[in-house]
């Protein structure tokens, strides 16, 4: 897979400027961890630049950027925080765009945990159900919207356990501290063990999780950061992002 995608990268119209190799520092949403790491592999192989990344909830990354965190690029899991960064002039105007649309899944690592998600949530055969914190994590807000849509938000409050990020939420379920949880579909796709049981939540149940990126002021003169922003729009990068279950490009207008 890596060799095929690497060749696609070379043929996708993504060009190398010949500039001295540099480093780009990313502040990236936790749901995008595995995807970003694979993207970084291919980017480094083709450009010679290196990528360093810190992953966390979008809300916490936004707060860190506001407090001077040394990131060149902010890859959020929503539109609101990158827009705020642009409005606050902490990022370069005109560089913000949607690089992925996330999808939500109800997941349990146990095979046959449920046949019908609606009945499963209504009957509550679990001690704990994990979601990300709706205040700081867009996937947590989406989970809240799903439960509200299903009429289960208030009823399930005593059983909800909240992760600081979608990565921590996923770990709650992996470690069996929660029997199931609302996680990013990309996390289920990249899970190497038995996929267990999952339900891809209809996107009509929650507001679109459009994930935007913006070049931060620190990255304005950084050739590696500029190359990364261009790379995210390349055919090869889009292929990698889609392979993890995200929608991209024209898909996000549907």
Q: What is the pLDDT of residues 197-244, one digit of tens each?
A: 999 999 999 999 999 999 999 999 999 999 999 999 999 999 999 999
Query: How confident is the model at residue 251, as a pLDDT?
Result: 55
195: pLDDT confidence band, cut at 50, 70 and 90? confident
Q: Which H or E run contains 187?
A: helix 185-190
Across the chain, which distance is largest between two alpha carbons, in Å? 60
Cα separation, 26 vs 77, whole angstroms:
13
* Domains 2-101+209-253 and 104-200 are alike in CATH topology: yes
More confident residue, 158 or 21: 158
Confidence check: pLDDT of 2 > 50: no
Q: Where are the domains of the chain?
A: 2-101+209-253, 104-200
Virtual torsion, Cα 32, 33, 37, 38, nearest 10 deg: -50
Residue identified by tokens 């392979």 is 243
Query: How confident is the model at residue 8, as a pLDDT?
Result: 39
Backbone angles phi, psi at 199, to 5 degrees: -125, 120
Q: Read out DSSP for 54-112?
A: EEE-HHHHHHHHHTT---SEEE-SSSHHHHHHHHTTSB-TT--EEEEEE-EEEEESSTT
SS3 164: coil
Q: Say whether domain 2-101+209-253 belongs to CATH 3.40.190.10.
A: yes
Confidence check: pLDDT of 19 > 90: no
250: pLDDT confidence band, cut at 50, 70 and 90? low
Confidence check: pLDDT of 9 > 50: no
Pick the CATH number of 104-200 from 3.40.50.880, 3.40.50.300, 3.30.2320.50, 3.40.190.10: 3.40.190.10
């Amino acid at each position: 897979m890596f060799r095929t995608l690497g060749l696609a990268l070379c043929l996708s119209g993504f060009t190398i400027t010949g500039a001295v190799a540099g480093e780009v520092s990313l502040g990236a949403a936790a749901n995008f961890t595995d995807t970003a790491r694979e993207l970084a592999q291919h980017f480094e192989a083709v450009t010679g630049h290196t990528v360093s990344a810190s992953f966390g909830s979008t809300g916490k990354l936004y707060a860190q950027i506001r407090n001077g965190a040394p990131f060149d690029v902010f890859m959020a899991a929503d539109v609101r925080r990158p827009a705020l960064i642009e409005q606050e002039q902490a990022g370069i105007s005109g560089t913000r765009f949607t690089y992925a649309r996330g999808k939500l899944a109800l997941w349990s690592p146990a095979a046959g945990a449920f046949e019908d998600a609606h009945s499963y949530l209504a009957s509550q055969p679990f001690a704990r159900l994990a979601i990300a914190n709706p205040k700081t994590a867009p996937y947590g807000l989406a989970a809240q919207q799903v439960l509200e849509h299903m009429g289960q938000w208030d009823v399930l409050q005593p059983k909800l356990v909240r992760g600081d990020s979608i990565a921590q939420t996923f770990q709650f379920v992996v470690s069996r501290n929660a029997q199931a949880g609302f996680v990013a579909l990309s996390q289920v796709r990249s899970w190497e063990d038995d996929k267990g049981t999952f339900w891809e939540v209809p996107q009509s149940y929650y507001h679109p999780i459009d994930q935007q990126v913006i070049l931060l002021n620190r990255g304005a003169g950084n050739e590696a950061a500029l190359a990364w922003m261009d790379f995210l729009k390349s055919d090869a990068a889009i292929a990698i992002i889609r392979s993890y279950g995200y929608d991209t490009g024209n898909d996000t207008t549907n």
